[in-house]
């Protein structure tokens, strides 16, 4: 695809957003301090139109669970009707930004689509809490959810997807068998920043750039940390066998596209069942546009159905083998 073809392929929805940011002189994440970047994201969320067609849920509860570095805030979303199990969700934001409120709309839609309890986790953020603290929080939340009883799926977007994959690798290596599946939205799987999609898209500043990702990595992993470790770069895990069945959603116009594809290939080659969805004309973070863009709505609906099916299959296996019932 030529540069002109790539630019022409951008959905008008995202072209309008990117043009508006440019006209307003909105800075890029890598040009800001972490505090200013968070304030800019909060301002964007506050100015965004109210979400449309949000599903009615039975219950939304804020709570805290214990963690190795102190209490971890969570938000629990229970759909109407029966609950198949649990989906632990880790938000996006480059390990620096985001939280329960940023992820709220997506978690509401996911709970309704999957028919399960979605548990959103406000893990600690870098640079105040660099690696391994966000991962420690994520793994503590996984351990807490697993102790409640399977079935359990873990899900996340971008940096949250990185935490999902890292947790799955750690859980496998430590003998935790509770994870029925993992859903990854445009996950960070490698720290190299040198793939074909970085070269094709990374300097366009289409909501996420190579410089932004380098900045996020620098906040999360200060000098002296080996970024090739599979808890940081899951693509580099020595053996991908026996990781949970996986669904991955990727955006065609995303610098992270190729590392997501490579991770899907790595899992498949190791015998892990993988469902891959690759959507054209959209950028990094496109699942947040569910309810606005048809492609985003369809992608999140498919993710919910995959989680529902995965939890149902796990619950059936538990019943047949005499294991514990759902959450």
pLDDT of residue 246: 98
Query: Is the bond preceding residue 215 a cis peptide, omega within 30 degrees?
Result: no
CA torsion through residues 97, 99, 104, 107, sign: positive
pTM over 0.75: yes
Q: Is the pLDDT of residue 327 over 50?
A: no
From 24-38, 51-65, 310-324, the region with the lowest mean pLDDT: 310-324
Q: 231: pLDDT confidence band, cut at 50, 70 and 90? A: very high
**Phi, psi of 176, deg, nearest 5:** -80, 120
Residue that the structure tokens 């996020």 belong to: 216
Q: Which of 190, 197, 284, 315 is catalytic?
A: 284
Q: 165, 188, 185: which is closest to 289 by C-alpha? A: 185
Q: Tell me the angle at which helices 294-321 and 104-114 cross, rounded to the nearest 10 degrees.
A: 50
CATH topology of domain 3-50+58-321: Rossmann fold (3.40.50)
Q: How do the domains of the chain map onto residue ranges?
A: 3-50+58-321
Respond yes or no on whether the N-terminal peptide bond of residue 127 is cis (omega within 30° of 0).
yes
Which three-class secondary structure state does DSSP give residue 66?
coil
Q: What is the three-class DSSP state of 178?
A: coil
Q: State the catalytic residue, choosing from 92, 120, 158, 209.
A: 158
Query: Catalytic: 284?
Result: yes
Alpha-carbon gap, residue 91 to 262, rounded angstroms: 22
Identified catalytic residue from 104, 190, 254, 279: 254
Q: Is the pLDDT of residue 322 over 80?
A: no
- Does the structure show a pLDDT above 50 at 5? yes
């Amino acid at each position: 695809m030529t540069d002109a073809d790539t630019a022409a392929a951008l959905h008008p929805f995202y072209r309008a957003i990117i043009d508006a940011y440019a006209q307003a002189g909105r800075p890029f994440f890598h040009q800001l301090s972490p505090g200013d970047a968070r304030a800019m994201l909060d301002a964007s969320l506050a100015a965004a139109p109210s979400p449309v067609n949000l599903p009615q849920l039975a219950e939304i509860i804020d709570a805290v669970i214990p963690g190795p570095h102190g209490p971890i805030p969570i938000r629990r979303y229970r759909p109407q009707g029966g609950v198949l199990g649990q989906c632990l969700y880790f938000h996006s934001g480059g390990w620096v930004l985001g939280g329960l409120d940023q992820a709220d709309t997506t978690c509401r839609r996911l709970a309704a689509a999957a028919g399960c309890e979605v548990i959103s986790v406000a893990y600690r953020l870098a640079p105040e809490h660099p690696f391994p603290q966000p991962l420690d929080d994520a793994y503590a939340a996984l351990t807490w959810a697993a102790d409640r009883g399977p079935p359990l799926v873990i899900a996340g977007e971008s940096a949250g997807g990185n935490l999902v994959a890292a947790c799955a690798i750690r859980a496998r290596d430590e003998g935790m068998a509770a994870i029925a599946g993992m859903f990854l939205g445009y996950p960070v799987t490698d720290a190299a920043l040198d793939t074909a999609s970085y070269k094709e898209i990374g300097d366009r500043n289409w909501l996420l750039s190579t410089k932004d990702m380098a900045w996020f990595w620098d906040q999360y992993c200060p000098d002296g940390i080996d970024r090739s470790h599979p808890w940081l770069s899951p693509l580099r895990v020595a053996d991908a066998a026996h990781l949970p069945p996986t669904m991955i959603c990727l955006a065609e116009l995303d610098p992270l596209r190729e590392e997501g594809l490579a991770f899907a290939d790595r899992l498949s080659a190791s015998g892990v069942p993988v469902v891959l969805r690759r959507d054209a004309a959209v950028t990094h973070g496109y699942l947040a546009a569910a309810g606005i863009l048809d492609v985003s709505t369809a992608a999140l609906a498919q993710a919910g159905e995959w989680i529902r099916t995965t939890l149902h299959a796990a619950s059936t296996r538990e019943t047949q083998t005499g294991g514990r019932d759902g959450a």
